[in-house]
Amino acid sequence: MLELSWDGFIEHTQQGWNVGKPPYGYVADRVPHPVPARRAEGRTKHRLLPDPVCGPVVTEIFRMRALERLGYRAIAERLNHHLDKYPPPAANRDDATVGHWTVQSVRGILTNPKYTGYQVWNRRARKKRGNRANPVSEWVWSPQPVHEPLVTRELFNDVWAYRGRQGSRSGAEPNSHPATTRTYPLRSYVVCALCDRRMFGKVSKGHAHYVCYRDELRRSKADWFDRHPKALWVSGKILLGAVHWFSAERVLGPDREPYLRAQLAAEAGTQRHPESLDDETADRVASLREQIAVLGRRQEALLDQLAEEDGVGDPETTRAFRQGIRSRYDRLDAERRALTAELGTLLQAETSVPGGQGWERLSGPELINLLPVLTTRFAELPEAAQRKLYDAFRLEVRYNRLQREVWLTVTIPAAFAADLGELTRRTVIPSPGHAHGDQPGFERPRQDSNLRPSA
């Protein structure tokens, strides 16, 4: 009976029927039950229809998370400032409804795949594991979308993969410690390329620096340990100047597309085109890519397990659990890096890539043209505006002490590149009561009818 019941739920989901209360943002579209006996009892089944009031709230919550990289608490606080515009969800019981947004209610929306238009069942083990979340591999999905989506699949995947700041607070305001006298504009963005840890701000002789200390206790067996200085310092002024130049020239400058195309061509010119590989090498390349993907999924599974178990049990057990997860994650990461290095070696060649073989179809140059062209000096923007843009573009500053190099990376997600462009324009050039074209220093982004946002 249990097996039949389980199969019935699977079939029910694959046909697009919803199980349980409609999630926030949807209402139930009830139809008479297809079984005559149950229909005679007044039983119904239902699909999901967007709620005209709450549906846009769901889309806005995903936008806050994806574009502004806000945490659950920050999103809840912003929603609670305008409860008339963002009505909070109601619990199944009236006495359990709190009347405002909470961290749990925001998290529940951002982790619900039904907003993509697919029907999904078995996300939680409500009987056997005390309502704990099931692994993604055990979810049951409908074969295709069965109701109107509130967010795209790409946007959901982007938000689902984002793990937050991992300990770094949001905003540009100073630390609440009474001894705090300054802020660090690049706090949380600077990473040590040797140990992959985030560097922190520190003042020396009146000047801001970003520092990374060698972890003597936990990482002494790591392969980078002997090459890592005991204290690694880099000037904050140098890094900030590089970020300002990079943002103004390579991201929002008028020549950013030629720069990007030249960089892509240079990178493609040092790699061997897949069709030029012999059979044995091609098989090894395919095998390496598959192994790298598997290791990546195993790392994601560890992070999911860490998020599920974090805070459960006594602190000593939690600490040991986190250390065990971290150790396993590091081993997987070392293996993935080794395989990635081998893959890069196989693909290296002295010959250039033949033209017109598909490398020119990369979406980068098209996506970057969805951003406005601005002539504003980044150094003149308020720190809060700078950090808002750095968060939206997922800025990463990697400092390699051995090569004396700084690598700057920003990401333009195809799922909401146009929204990112609008956020950039509004942040750099506030325009209350003015049309876009009336603002100095702003040029409308070029539209490409061939661009596919899901590319």
Q: pLDDT tens-digit profile of 33-59?
A: 776 776 677 777 888 899 999 999 999
Question: Both 130 and 204 in a single domain?
Answer: no
Q: How many domains does the chain have?
A: 3
Question: Both 296 and 410 in a single domain?
Answer: no
Question: Both 383 and 235 in a single domain?
Answer: yes
Q: Is the pTM of this model over 0.85?
A: no
In this prediction, residues 92-110 reach a mean pLDDT of 85
Cα 145 to Cα 417: distance, rounded to the nearest angstrom: 23
The type of residue at 78 is R
| Cα-Cα-Cα-Cα dihedral sign, residues 170, 176, 182, 188 | negative
Where helices occur in 81-224 by DSSP H, the ranges are: 103-110, 153-161
Cα 354 to Cα 368: distance, rounded to the nearest angstrom: 25
| Cα-Cα-Cα-Cα dihedral sign, residues 319, 320, 323, 329 | negative
Question: Both 216 and 141 in a single domain?
Answer: no
Choosing from 351, 382, 397, the residue where a domain stops is 351
Question: Both 38 and 145 in a single domain?
Answer: yes
Q: Tell me, yes or no, whether 359 lies in a domain.
A: no
Question: Both 87 and 190 in a single domain?
Answer: no
The answer to whether residues 427 and 451 touch, using CB atoms and an 8 Å cutoff, is no
SS3 442: strand
Give the domain CATH number at 70. 3.90.1750.20
Question: Both 62 and 211 in a single domain?
Answer: no
253 Cβ contact list (under 8 Å, min separation 6)? 259, 373, 374
The type of residue at 372 is P
Q: Tell me, yes or no, whether 361 lies in a domain.
A: no
Question: Both 259 and 398 in a single domain?
Answer: yes
Segments of 95-227 assigned E as strands: 120-121, 124-125, 132-133, 140-141, 190-192, 200-204, 207-213
Cα 166 to Cα 411: distance, rounded to the nearest angstrom: 19
**pLDDT 10s digits, 373-429:** 887 788 888 988 999 999 999 999 999 988 889 999 998 887 778 888 888 888 887
**Any bridge partners for residue 212, and if so which?**
232
Q: Tell me, yes or no, whether 360 lies in a domain.
A: no
The type of residue at 367 is L
Residue written as tokens 């103004």? 248
Choosing from 110, 127, 150, the residue where a domain stops is 150
Choosing from 150, 176, 199, the residue where a domain stops is 150
Q: Tell me, yes or no, whether 157 lies in a domain.
A: no
Q: Tell me, yes or no, whether 357 lies in a domain.
A: no
The answer to whether residues 183 and 172 touch, using CB atoms and an 8 Å cutoff, is yes
In terms of residue numbers, what domain contains 434? 165-268+366-455
- Helix %, strand %, coil % for the chain, to 5? 45, 15, 40
Q: Tell me, yes or no, whether 358 lies in a domain.
A: no
- HEC letters along 141-154: ECCCCCCCCCCCHH
- The bridge status of strand 124-125 relative to strand 120-121 is unpaired
**Any bridge partners for residue 204, and if so which?**
207
**pLDDT 10s digits, 270-329:** 554 555 566 777 778 778 878 877 887 787 777 667 666 655 566 777 777 777 877 887
User: Residue 191's CB: how many other CB atoms inside 10 A?
Assistant: 19
Cα 395 to Cα 17: distance, rounded to the nearest angstrom: 41
Burial grade of 404 (CB within 10 A; 0-12, 13-18, 19 or more)? exposed
Question: Both 238 and 274 in a single domain?
Answer: no
Question: Both 250 and 383 in a single domain?
Answer: yes
Residue 212 has pLDDT above 70, yes or no: yes
Question: Both 232 and 288 in a single domain?
Answer: no
Q: Tell me, yes or no, whether 224 lies in a domain.
A: yes
SS3 164: coil
Question: Both 31 and 100 in a single domain?
Answer: yes
The type of residue at 168 is S
**pLDDT 10s digits, 167-209:** 566 665 666 666 666 788 898 899 999 888 899 999 888 899 9
